[in-house]
Amino acid sequence: MVQGEGVPPAGQTVSTTAELFERAVREHSRRLLAVARGIAGNRASAEDVVQQALLNLYRHRDRYDWREPAGLMRRAVVNEALRLLRQPRMTAVAEEHPDRPDSPVAGMIDRETVARVRQAIDRLPDHFRAALVLCEYENMAYVQIAEVLGASIPQVKTWLHRGRRQLARMLAEFDAAADKVETRRPNVGRRS
């Protein structure tokens, strides 16, 4: 997809390239944010990832064919998210949960479950996390994941298998810890 430096792809003028880029950003930014959030972990980092990836693409927008930009944009976001993960971690920003649960207790349980799953995903190695996000949240095929991550299909399958196994183990530890806490609680407020 990369074209010559400063020369728009065949059939694209400089003005149509800018228009196609803007339309691509409007159409794909929500999906790109979801990919970045799944890999980077928290909302602030995900927004930074998407912004930086789009800025990089904008700087070199004349190099690419913007008529079908989804793969290019997704690859740029994944690369930026992985680059960010290699840097030292910053303090975590609290997650926002716009959905309203049926009851306050259900909301607490949902938030706690989501937080535990995200913590477990954050503890996975970067390549496992990226493969899982692309597979589970983006519903991408192994071939597409391999292309986006620059890996072989067998390597992607291995990462997914090991990532799922580690994630299941971490979540099982969470369930076991929750069961222990539940059995230790005294029966307060119950009448005999």
Query: Of 99, 147, 101, 129, which is closest to residue 35 (Cα–Cα)?
Result: 129
Provide the CATH topology of domain 101-192.
Arc Repressor Mutant, subunit A (1.10.10)
**Mean pLDDT, each 10-residue run in order, the chain (192 residues):** 48 72 88 86 76 88 84 88 67 48 61 81 88 86 88 93 91 73 52 46
Look at residue 5 in the predicted model and tell me its pLDDT.
Answer: 45
Polymer length in residues for the chain = 192
Look at residue 163 in the predicted model and tell me its pLDDT.
Answer: 92
CA distances from 147 to 5, 55, 142 (A): 24, 22, 9
Best CATH choice for the domain 1-92 from the list 2.40.128, 1.10.1740, 3.30.70, 1.10.10:
1.10.1740
Look at residue 97 in the predicted model and tell me its pLDDT.
Answer: 47
Contacts of residue 76, Cβ cutoff 8 Å, sequence gap at least 6: 53, 54, 56, 57
Q: What is the 3-state secondary structure (H, E, C) of 119-136?
A: HHHHHCCHHHHHHHHHHH
Look at residue 33 in the predicted model and tell me its pLDDT.
Answer: 87
111 neighbors 99 (Cβ within 8 angstroms): no
Report residue 138 CA to chain centroid gap.
9
Please report, for the chain, the start and end positions of each structural domain, with discontinuous segments joined by +: 1-92, 101-192
Look at residue 38 in the predicted model and tell me its pLDDT.
Answer: 85
Distance between CA 116 and CA 129 in Å, rounded?
15
Look at residue 106 in the predicted model and tell me its pLDDT.
Answer: 60
